[in-house]
Chains A and B, each alone.
With several copies, the nearest count.
Chain A
Amino acid sequence: MTEHYLELQDIDQARSMGLRPPEWERLLAVLGRRPNLTELGMFAVMWSEHCSYKHSKTALRQFPTGGPQVLQGPGENAGVVDIGDGQAVVFKIESHNHPSAIEPYQGAATGVGGIVRDVFTMGARPIALLNSLRFGDLSSPKQRYLFAGVVAGIAGYGNCLGIPTVGGEVYFNDSYTNNCLVNAMCVGLIDHHLLTRGRAQGTGSRLILIGARTGRDGIHGATFASEALGEHSVARRPAVQVGDPFMEKLLLEACLELIEAKVILGMQDLGAAGLTSASSEMAARAGSGVELDVALVPRREKNMNPYEIMLSESQERMLLAVEPEQVPLVLATCAKWGLTGTDIGQVTASGMVKVLFNGIVVAEVPARPLASEGPVYHPLATEPPWQALVTALNLAAIPVPEDLTAVLGRLLASPNIASKEWVYRQYDHSVRGDTVTLPGSDAAVLRIKGTKKGLALSVDCNSRYTYLDPYRGGAIAVAEAARNVACSGAKPLAITNCLNFGSPERPEIYYQLTRAIAGMAAACEALGTPVTGGNVSLYNETAGQAVFPTPTVGMVGVLADVERRVTTAFKQEGDIVCLLGSTFEELGGSEYLKVVHNLERGLPPALDLAAERRLQSLLVALAEGALLASAHDCAEGGLAVAVAESAIQGGLGARIDLSPLASMRKDALLFGESQSRVVVSLAPTHFSAVEILAGAMGVPFVCLGRVEGDVVCLGRGQEAIIRADVASLAELWRGAIACHMSP
């Protein structure tokens, strides 16, 4: 074999791997010499946007990341927050947008695999999955193919692992036609003392690679431009990887068994940039070095060279640092689970990543610059010229429809509002026997066996708002996620987030990114929910058309007593229906404007963070006092849709009189999306207690009517505005997506 990977490289080669000239200069300065091919490849991937966050790092600094509950903030494989009793929640969200656009099933499946590894890498038992999905319009067969494939892929992988997929969100909007978004979130549970980090600790510790054999999958297309590398042409190299959930399940069980045995000093999954990132990040975090002989790495394909082995992104692999005496136990545990475990090297004190191939040094580079001292850019942010145009909205020119009952029906059947049952019935959401609020409510709730506690989980983002006003949209994404969690009775604790944007090198996109982050940061600050981690997915654009800026927020909250959880559904005829929060004449960015008037314009609804915080505190207090029968926030479709959804889910009607609310256009009253509002129902005996508490906590509180019969009626005084029986609304809402999917 000619040893291309030892030849020193030049700037042209660097450029062909995606490094820019200044980055090449920086690399020369770091090494004090020219890199060979393997070294260059390692830098090219680690200094890519995906691994180094070079265009988003500065903007991310706006996030608040600390708080008494935070045990681990950004910087590790997943964030960790304390939930009391010596327990913690480990969670993170990540995107798999590009692979899913090429091969929806496998792209989504391997996305789930990756995020699950990020969580058990920390030593935690994964207990729940969520996801946030966005596609173009379902009337297109291509979009249906993507949607069906992604959902099946998430199901295929998560169900096999036996981790319940308990929640998520799905949106359809033309901006995602060429760039679908697939974000997966995993939540794990751990006892504090078992927390493990991705650190290569202790000089002389052994590095054990376990799991799948390494193939040529996913070696960065851009970094593989040189045909001189081998006989395998780029064209034949599949861009997409096939996931093996069974292997992942074995890996998960074996790793957790080793965590319990307390023999792991540090552990890291092999995700993007494979062995290169796992080894260099583990060394960089611990301030140590590593030495590996990659000829020892078990391979699936013949004649793989060190370059390929270091850059392979084969799935379902983990790298462990363990004391030498523990190696036999580690290997025995691997064998028990039918896994290959291989001692491929050791931890050193050198600060270097030293790669050997059959004893010959093929790469030797400093770990820290490679892993964490990549280039950082401060891109230009400019408000796009169209921003002011799209926010302008002349409501006076928009007629109020005559038949508002029909409008409610259309909204309930809009795929963005309709029931997502078609999706979640494909997910095993009840395995592990802890899901006590199933998908369909504002937040999923899990009990924690052996305690009284519950966990509430939600992912949210209204990207139309972020498109119309990145700052407000970002803030609302956080507020809504927290509100959903609070509606279940849980106290919001912390967030993870996935920032899906276009190219940050375009000033208008960078503007969206920084503004959205600023808005999110303000909301996190105000609501006391710091950011513990996340992921950035940029370049979601085709031919200059970027997706709506989509900062997905994953929120975790805790209930002191899971028996006190609250759900969306009306429970009891005779219960009083009340609205918490204030209603304004706000139609900008609403689903109503889009569905009925085909407009995506206006300013999104205003958000008063102090009011939001008071509302959420009240919701938690009401739940703790067992004063609520149901709670549901007003989101897309506004008050009318919120009432209808509570009615549909409870199989009970309601008679609602809107006259206590401020007077305004009827469509705004019914379908406006004013923030910080929640429709609650409660037993008449609790009415005064709730009223007093709401008053004391400064939350506007009005009584709107009662749960009764099997018809939903909304009116103003004597005037009937909407009247429809629950069964027919339910049919529209439940059947809409299935209808699109099997025309």
Chain B
Amino acid sequence: MYKAKIYVTLKEGVLDPQGQAVRAGLISQGFAAVEEVRIGKFMEVVVATHSATEAQHLVREMCERLLANPVIEDYTFVLVEVV
């Protein structure tokens, strides 16, 4: 089995209202050093397969089709083998 750790982030230039609000919140709490905050998703997906290539392939397809919204989001992932 493989576990994919998937990071979905907003594309550059896309407004991130959450990130903005959190940044303002952090600054108002005294974290003056905060320059920028962007908020995305972190997903862990476990796939039952013995082949790393297949896992790679499956996860990419899941991201393209469902997990990320290609219009506004980018994604990356890493695979780790689990038992």
Contact = CB atoms under 8 A, between A and B. Distances in A.
A242 B16 CA distance: 8
A238 B14 contact: yes
Contact of A236 (B11, B24, B69): B11
B5 to A, nearest CB: 22
B69 to A, nearest CB: 7
Interface string A229-246: 000100011111111101
Contact of A215 (B13, B21, B69, B71): B13
B45 interface: no
Contact of B15 (A236, A239, A242, A338): A242
A216 B16 CA distance: 13
Interface string B11-38: 1111111001100100000000000000
Given A217-B15, A246-B17, 4 more contacts: A215-B13, A237-B13, A238-B71, A238-B72
Contacts of A242: 10, 14-17, 72
Contacts of B72: 103, 106, 238, 240, 242
A400 to B, nearest CB: 40
Closest 3 CB pairs of A and B: A244-B17, A242-B15, A103-B71
A247 B21 CA distance: 9
Interface residues of A, dominant DSSP: loop
B24 A338 contact: yes
Interface string B60-82: 00000000010110000000000
A301 B24 contact: no
- Among B14, B15, B71, max chain A CB count under 10 A is at B15
Interface in A235-291: 236-244, 246-247
Contacts of A247: 17
A228 interface: no
Interface string A185-224: 0000000000000000000000000001001110000000
B65 to A, nearest CB: 11
B37 to A, nearest CB: 13
Interface residues of A, number: 24
A314 interface: yes
A720 interface: no
Contacts of A380: none
Nearest to A242: B15
30 contacts: A103-B69, A103-B71, A103-B72, A212-B15, A215-B13, A216-B13, A217-B13, A217-B14, A217-B15, A232-B13, A236-B11, A236-B12, A236-B13, A237-B13, A238-B11, A238-B13, A238-B72, A239-B71, A240-B71, A240-B72, A241-B14, A242-B10, A242-B14, A242-B17, A243-B17, A244-B17, A246-B17, A246-B21, A247-B17, A314-B15
The listed residue with most A CB atoms (<10 A of its CB), out of B11, B13, B16, is: B13
A239 B20 CA distance: 21
Interface of A: 102-103, 106, 212, 215-217, 232, 236-244, 246-247, 300-301, 314-315, 338
Contact of A241 (B15, B20, B24): B15
Q: What band does the interface of chain B fall in when counting residues whose beta carbon is under 8 Å from A?
A: 10 to 19
Contacts of B69: 103
A520 to B, nearest CB: 35
Contacts of A216: 13
A215 B24 contact: no
Interface of B: 10-17, 20-21, 24, 69, 71-72
For the complex, would chain B's binding face be called helix, strand, loop or mixed by DSSP majority?
loop
B71 A244 contact: no
Contacts of A103: 69, 71-72
Nearest to A742: B24
A241 B16 CA distance: 10
B15 A215 contact: yes
Contacts of B21: 246
Contacts of B17: 242-244, 246-247
Contacts of A232: 13
Nearest to B29: A141
A240 B14 CA distance: 9
Nearest to B71: A103
Given A102-B71, A103-B71, A244 B13 contact: no
Nearest to A103: B71
Contacts of A243: 17
A239 B12 CA distance: 13
A305 to B, nearest CB: 15
A416 B16 CA distance: 34
Nearest to A99: B71
Nearest to A217: B15
A236 B74 CA distance: 11
A252 B10 CA distance: 26
Contacts of A217: 13-15
A718 B69 CA distance: 61
Contacts of B12: 236
A240 B10 CA distance: 12
A279 B80 CA distance: 44
Nearest to A102: B71
A498 B71 CA distance: 27
Nearest to B17: A244
Nearest to B21: A246
Nearest to B10: A242
Contact of A244 (B11, B15, B24): B15
A215 B11 CA distance: 13
Contacts of A246: 17, 21
Contacts of A236: 11-13
Nearest to B73: A238
Contacts of B10: 242
A575 B45 CA distance: 60
A237 B71 CA distance: 9
A103 B11 CA distance: 14
Contacts of B20: 244
A300 B15 contact: yes
